[in-house]
Structure 1
Amino acid sequence: MNVLKCLVFITVLLSSPAWSDKGSDISLNFTDTQTSKILKIIADFSGKGLVLPDPKLGVTSVYLKNVPWREALHAVTSSENLNFEITDKLIIISKKRCTKASILSKEKT
């Protein structure tokens, strides 16, 4: 019985927001702010390091309220045409590469 109580306790502990980022919501309110600064705030909030291709990525305005930090990261990177990869300890940002298919689809529109 003690083993079962221990397993339940560990399961509850590991599923709490302190150990899992699934329940970690972030609110952001920025106008005309460097994208790299916003990404650094998201990285700090997530507890991960940040790797940027260029510290001067552009300027972004964002207003998000109680959004999961991964969703906020996706929104900010998408607005600047960036990709991201998340590892155990890092968020790695890279510029999207133009492919022939994406160039052709832009020409059609």
Structure 2
Amino acid sequence: MKWVLAVFGKAGSPFIADEVDKYVKRLRGGVFPLEVVELKESKIDDRFPGNIVFLIGSAYGIDENLKKTADLLLSLSPLTFTHDHARVLFAEQLYRVQMVMQNHPYHHR
């Protein structure tokens, strides 16, 4: 099983892609490796069976029918973030979660 961060569209800049990739690399070989998938359409098919999928919606949000199929709906914050910022924040948070699960002193680095 792995974590899948599914996002609509491509990263807005090389900086964003590099920052997210930094966490993808750190999570390799961990309890839950992270894969980032850039979706072209505003739907998810059955290509992620057995994985935990986190979806960052497009500028138009997430289709209500898709929301109804979710096991859980999360919000990063009551604040509004760009999609690029959400990618980096979410990847970092997944990394932090895994470090805490492994009793790693992540916040003391």
Same fold by TM-score greater than 0.5: no
What is the TM-score when the length of structure 2 is the normalising length?
A: 0.26
- Structure with greater Cα Rg: 1
Q: Larger helix proportion, structure 1 or 2?
A: 1
With a CA cutoff of 8 Å and minimum separation of 6, indicate the structure with the bigger relative contact order.
2
What is the TM-score when the length of structure 1 is the normalising length?
A: 0.26
Q: Larger strand proportion, structure 1 or 2?
A: 1
